[in-house]
Amino acid sequence: MLSSLESHHGELERAGLTVLAVAQGEPKHNERYCGSLAPNITCLSDSTTDSYHTWGLQQGKLGELLNVGVIMGGVRAASKGHVGGPVIGDARMMPGTFIVDGAGIVRYAFYATHAADHPPIADLLHAASLLGSASN
C-alpha cells in the first residue's frame, strides 16, 4: 500500500489529502522503509500497538492473516520488487486507512478484511471529492 500511495501521491495531494502512514516500529525503521518506498509520504512510528487500537484496529485471526488474498498481495508486491524484511512489532495487527478532516472528524474509514487488503486509490480520491464538495 505504501508504494501505491507514493505512486499516486500527486493525485492524492491535488484531491486535498495529506498522506500520513503510521506503522509499528522505531523511527529508524520508518526512515529505512519510507525513505526508499515512499519518500513523499510522512511516516510515523509507534513501538506499541496503541495507535492501532486507538483507530479500532485489532489483531487478525488466522484466516485474515493467511489466505489467498494475502498470498496474492505478497506475489504482487514481490513482482514490483518489494520483498518484506524482518517482522517488526505485532505482525497480527490488521491494517486500516482513514481520511480525517481538518476538524479531526473521521470522514472515511477502511478496515481491512485480510492482512493485504487496502482500499483502491479511486475510493480514496472519491472520498476526498465528497469531503471537498461538503466544504463548499
Q: Is the pTM of this model over 0.75?
A: yes
Cβ(3)–Cβ(27) below 8 Å:
no
Cell representation of residue 117:
487488503
Task: Please report, rounded to a whole number, the percentage of residues in the chain having pLDDT higher than 90.
Answer: 17
pLDDT exceeds 70 at position 133: no
Dump pLDDT digits (tens) for 45-55.
Answer: 888 999 999 99
Average pLDDT score over residue span 25-31? 82
Q: Quick one: 110 exposed, middle or buried, by C-beta within 10 A (0-12, 13-18, 19+)?
A: middle
Domains, the chain: 2-129 (3.40.30)
